[in-house]
Amino acid sequence: MRASPPAEPADGRVRGVDETALTRRVAADYVDRLENRDWPGLTALLAEDMVYEMPQTRERIRGRSAFLRFNIDYPGEWHLRVRRVVADGRAAALWLDVRVGAGQQDACAWLELSDSGLISRIVDYWPEPYDPPAGREHLVERW
């Protein structure tokens, strides 16, 4: 059920670049497998002792099993699309377009990979719309 983690490059000189390329691919695969409800495929990307955090609600999920259950049970017809992946060494940032039914929301996720190239930490932000404060209308346009 679990795919092998990708091998570390043997050549130290290009390690940083290869590491970043791996992280970029893992981050994109993470979204793809969530979107496709590919639970075995998602499992293969995650460290067993991974941690998932949502700072806005101060919620933390410990462990791959609980994180999978959280996603399998997540209510609604949710769909994810990558707006941007930014990878740097073993860290990645994901900018997502999330749809649930007719609703749309952007999300920002911060990923960390372990030594073996598995996702060890995810921190998710779900910024919601709000009304702009008064006093800056002369500087901005609205859309």
> Does 136 interact with a copy of itself (rule: CB under 8 A)?
yes
Give burial (CB, 10 Å; 0-12/13-18/19+) of 73: exposed
28 interacts with a copy of itself by CB under 8 A: no
Among 26, 50, 61, 96, binds a copy of itself (CB under 8 A): 61
Instruction: Tell me: does residue 78 bind a copy of itself (CB under 8 A).
Output: no
- Does position 17 bind a copy of itself by CB under 8 A? yes
Dist. CA 112–CA 92, nearest whole Å: 7
Q: How far apart are CA 39 and CA 52, in angstroms?
A: 16
Q: CB of 5: closest distance to a copy of itself in angstroms? A: 21
Nearest residue (CB) to a copy of itself, 4 versus 131: 131
Q: Among 84, 87, 83, 82, which residue's Cα sits nearest to residue 21? A: 87
# of chain residues touching a copy of itself (CB under 8 A): 45
> 59-67 — which CB contacts under 8 Å span 24+ positions?
67/122
Task: Report the nearest approach of a copy of itself to the CB of residue 99 (Å).
Answer: 15
Among 37, 62, 79, 81, binds a copy of itself (CB under 8 A): 62
User: What DSSP line would sit under 37-82, residue for residue?
Assistant: T-HHHHHTTEEEEEEEEETTTTEEEESHHHHHHHHHH--S-EEEEE
Write out the residues near a copy of itself by the rule CB under 8 A: 16-17, 20, 24, 54-62, 66, 69-70, 73, 75, 84-88, 91-93, 95, 106, 108, 110, 125-132, 135-136, 139-143
